[in-house]
Amino acid sequence: MIFKKTITILTIVSMLFVTTSCTKKEAESEVKVKVNDTVITVEQFDKAYNDYKAMYEEQYGENIWEQEMEEGKTFQQYLEDTVLETLILEVILVEEAEKEGIEVTQEEIDKELKTYKDVFGNEEKFSDFLKNKDITEDFLVETIKRELLITKFLNIKSAYINDIEPTDEQLLALFDKNKDSFTQIRASHILVETEEEAEQVKKRLDDGENFEELAKEVSICPSAEKGGDLDYFYFNEMAYEFSAVAFKMQLGEISNPVKSDYGYHIIKLTDKKDTFKSVDREQLVYQFKAKEYNDFLDKYIKKSKIEK
C-alpha cells in the first residue's frame, strides 16, 4: 500500500537478528551512512542485505530481483532501500528510547533469549546458528535488548493511535489524495506458458468462446477451476506487468496477451471498486492510522542527523 515506513518498522525485529550492531566508532570499514553519532558501515549493510536476499530467493526464486515493485524500481532496488531505511530507523529508535529512560530488565532479556533458543530445540543447534551467523551469544543478548527497547518505545508512543476513530471527512480526504492506492479490481485470467499459446487463446475468445470455460480448459493457474477468477486485489498484489494492464481496462474488456515472469496472461476485468463508497472502509481506517504512525516516525527522523 502507500505507507512504506509502517511495513519497514514491522521488519525491524527480524532485521535485528541479521545485522551487525551499529557502533559509535567503526574505522575499519567504509561508512554507508552516519546517523547522529552512530555509524552504519558498508559491511553491516551488505550483511543485512545479503541475509534478506537469501531469504527472499529461497521463498520466491532467483528471478525475483528484476521484477518491478513499482514503476521504474526493481525488487532489488526496493529491498536495498528498505534495508537501509530499517537500519537507520533502528538506530534512531534505540537512541530515542534510551533518551526517554526506557529500560529493559535482565529478566525480560533472559525470557526472550530462552524463547529464541527454544526455536532451535537444543544447545547444539543454537550454537551452530551462532557460528553460521558469525556472532556470539553476547551479541545476540545485546540485539535482544535493542529489540525490546524498540518494542517498548513504539508501544508507548503509538498507543494513542489505536484509539483514533477517523471521521468520514478525514477518510474521504485520504482517499482523494491516494485514490489509486485504494482502488481494487476483480479480474479473471487465463495463464499459459508461451506467447503462441496466448495468441491462440485470444483468437478463440475473439471468435466467441466463453472466457470462464476456456480458462478451465487451458489455464495453468490454480484459478482455472474457478474460471480464472482472481477475486478482488490491489495493484501491488499482482505482478507489476499484470496490474499495469488490468487497472487500465474497462469492465468486461479482455486484454491482449500480457507477459510476466509466470507466463502469458489473457485478462478479463469483471469489477472495479474505485469510489469512496465502494472501497474497503477498514483499509481506509488502517491507512489513516498508518499515516498518523508515519508522521510520528517522521518527527524523529527529521530531527536526526543522517549523512549518506
Report yes or no on whether pTM surpasses 0.75: no
Domain residues of the chain, as ranges? Answer: 4-164+288-307, 184-273
| CATH topology classification for 184-273 | Chitinase A; domain 3 (3.10.50)
- Is residue 17 predicted with pLDDT exceeding 60? no
pLDDT of residue 28: 55
CATH code given to domain 4-164+288-307? 1.10.4030.10
- Is residue 94 predicted with pLDDT exceeding 70? yes
Kindly list the distances between the CA atom of residue 98 and the CA atoms of 92, 145, 180, 219, 294, in Å, as whole numbers in the listed order: 10, 11, 40, 56, 21
pLDDT tens per residue across span 147-158 = 899 999 988 888
pLDDT tens per residue across span 114-164 = 998 998 888 999 999 888 888 889 988 998 999 899 999 988 888 888 888
pLDDT of residue 67: 79
